[in-house]
Amino acid sequence: MSRTSALLEWYGHNRRDLPWRHTTDPWRILVSEVMLQQTQASRVVDPYRRFLDRFPTPASMAESSTADVLSLWMGLGYNSRVLRLRDAATLIVRDGWPRSVEGLRALPGVGPYTAAAVACFSFGKQVPAIDTNLRRVLSRWVGRPLDGPDLATTATELLPDGDAVDWNQAMMDLGASICRRVPECGRCPVAKWCADPSIYVAPRPQGRYEGSVRQTRAAILRTLLDGDADVEDLRSRHGHADAALGALETEGLIAVEAGRVSLA
First CA to last CA distance, the chain: 57
Per DSSP, the residues of 110-158 read: --HHHHHHHHHHHH--------HHHHHHHHHHHTS---HHHHHHHHHHH
- What type of residue sits at position 115? A
Identify the bridge partners of residue 254 per DSSP, sorted by sequence position. 263
Tell me which residue of 39, 117, 42 sits closest to 82, measured CA to CA: 39
Tell me which residue of 220, 246, 177, 255 sits closest to 16, measured CA to CA: 177
Residue 28 burial class via C-beta count within 10 angstroms: exposed 0-12, middle 13-18, buried 19 and up? buried
Per DSSP, the residues of 69-122 read: HHHHHTTSS-THHHHHHHHHHHHHHHH----SHHHHHTSTT--HHHHHHHHHHH
- The answer to whether 48 and 70 are in contact (CB under 8 A) is no
Q: Is 33 a catalytic residue?
A: yes
Say whether 230 sits in a helix, a strand or coil: strand
- The answer to whether 226 and 194 are in contact (CB under 8 A) is no
CA distance 56 to 220: 28
Catalytic position from the list 9, 33, 102, 184 = 33
The catalytic residues are 33
